[in-house]
Structure formats: structure tokens, C-alpha cells
Amino acid sequence: MLGIIIIVNLLAAIAAFYRVLKGPSVFDRIAAVDSIGIMFLVILVFMSYYFERQIFMDVALVYGLLLFIDILIMAKYFGKTGSESR
Amino acid sequence: MNDFLHFLRVLLFYYFILSGTFFLISTAIGMIRFPDFFTRLHAGSKCLVAGGGSIFIGFIIYEGLSPVSLKLLLLIAVLFAINPTAVHALARSAFHSGHLPVSPGQLSSKKETGKEQSDE
Amino acid sequence: MNNIIFYLLLFFLVGSAAAAVFSENLINSLISLSVFSGLLVIIFVFLQAPDVALAEAVIAAGITTTFFIIAINKTCDLEDSESQNES
């Protein structure tokens, strides 16, 4: 049952990757990367219970904190260059 | 009695997991089908926090009272703090760089307006 | 069940790597690289190596993407690359 739910969440992440490939602007791609990252966070928590090892929860915590820095720096720098070019 | 409590716990666990999976699938569909950038951001903000929080609450119910449960509670607090902040920074940056929301009259001819906005 | 999850992960990994390599704009390539590094963390967790996954999450998802963003923003002229991509 947990394996089927992992497969469904992975298919949802693949479907959201379509917006990364064909976004009209840069900000669409960054929003899609944000949603894909939180789907990956959910998949990491699922795998901690799928393999029954509790160490895997720390990887999810570290990845969630680093995703925030990633999205924030992308939004800051790409927004500044976008405002200069227009 | 103890067996019944275990059955109830597993039932509640699967209820929260399936509702969270539904929210994540609706996030993916909204990310593909919505016409504008700000509507896509709305799908990525609300449904994502609801789905992730629901799934983590389900795992807390399944786990009981343990250190792993405390770690999941920290993960819920992180998710509720960082995702609105990141989405707000993204929307502010996009609004200052010239993106404007599509008005409701333009939604009937959304493909033409999308091409016009991408060409500018 | 394990085989299906693993093949799906590898398919997604190859797709995101191809999107990072064959994209013509540098910003789009960088955004695809972020997805690639997050997927690599899941594959290391799937292969029962949590310490390598922790190092991968710190290095690839955090430091490499941030350094590439700042370096591209300081050196490359983004306006020319976007105009070449649209024409």
C-alpha cells in the first residue's frame, strides 16, 4: 500500500515537471520547482516508513530547510535581473 | 479493546494519507492546467501546504508518542513557515518585474494572451 | 514494487538531466539542475545510504545551486541570452 502511494506521488512530481520544461516565464519554472521539492519531501518521509529505518527522517528535514534557501535566492536574483531587462 | 484501538489508528492513518495524496495530485493538475502565473502560484501555495501537513499528521497518528513524532512535528512547523514565505517572495519579485494578473474578461481567449505576454 | 519505483526514479533522473543539458538558456538549465539534485537525494535514500544522501542534500541542493546562481548573475549578460532564445 505504501509502495503504491509512493508511485502515485512520483507520477504527480513527473506531471509537475511539465511546467518546468514548458513555462512561459522564469517564475512559472520556479513555482514548479517549489511544488516538486515539497513532493520530494513527502516521498522521503514515505521512504522512511517503507524501509522502516528512522534515520531517513533527518535527510527530509535537511532537504526541506535547504529547499527554502534555494527558492528564496532564485526569486531574489532572477527577479532583479528580470526587472532590469524590462 | 486494545485491538480495536489499533484498527482505529490504522484507519485514521490511511484516511489522512489518501486525502494528502489527493491534494498533491490536485497541485500537479493545477500546475499544468491553470492559465496564468498567479493562479499557478495559488495552486502551488494552498494545496501543497494542505497535502504535506495532512500526510505528516497521518504519520504522527500512526507513530504515537516518540522522538520520531517530535521530528515530524518540527517538519510540519517548517513546512507551514517556509512555503508561504517562499511563495510570497516569488509573487513579489514577479510583480515588481512586470507580471500582471489576467483580468477575467481575458480568460475566454487565454491562449492568445499567453502568447502575447510571452513575446513581450 | 521496488523495481517499478526504481525504474520510475531513473527515468525521471535521465529526463531532468537531459533537460538541464540540452536547454539553450542558462537559467532554465540551472532550474532543471535543482530538480536533478533533489532527485539524486531520493535515489541515494532508496539505495540505503543515508549519509551520502545527507552530504548530497547539503552540497548539491544547497551550495552548488546558490553558487551557480550568484556566479551566472555576476558574469553572464542575461538579456542577450534571453533575446537569442526568443528569436
Contact B17, B55 (CB under 8 A): yes
Write down the pLDDT at residue C76: 66
ipTM of this predicted complex? 0.85
Q: Please list every residue in chain A whose beta carbon sits closer than 8 Å to the beta carbon of residue B98.
A: 82-83, 86
A79 contact C CB<8A: no
CA dist A60 and A44 (Å) reads 6
What would the DSSP string read from start to end of B19-81? HHHHHHHHHHHHHHH-SSHHHHHHHHHHHHHHHHHHHHHHHHHHH-SSHHHHHHHHHHHHHHH
Write down the pLDDT at residue B104: 65
pLDDT in tens, A47-69: 888 888 888 888 888 888 888 88
Nearest to C12 by CA among A32, B27, A13, B44: A13
The number of folded domains in chain C is 1
Q: Which residue of A has its CA nearest to C11?
A: A14
A13 contact B CB<8A: yes
CB pair distance less than 8 Å for A3 and C1: yes
pTM (2 decimals)?
0.85
- Give the domain CATH number at C56: 1.20.120.1200
pLDDT in tens, B75-94: 899 888 888 888 888 888 88
CA dist C13 and C35 (Å) reads 9
Across the interface, of A12, A49, A68, the residue whose CB is closest to B59 is A49
At B120, is the pLDDT very low, low, confident or very high (cuts 50, 70, 90)?
very low
- For chain B, which residues make up each domain, given as ranges? 2-119
Domain range enclosing C41: 2-86
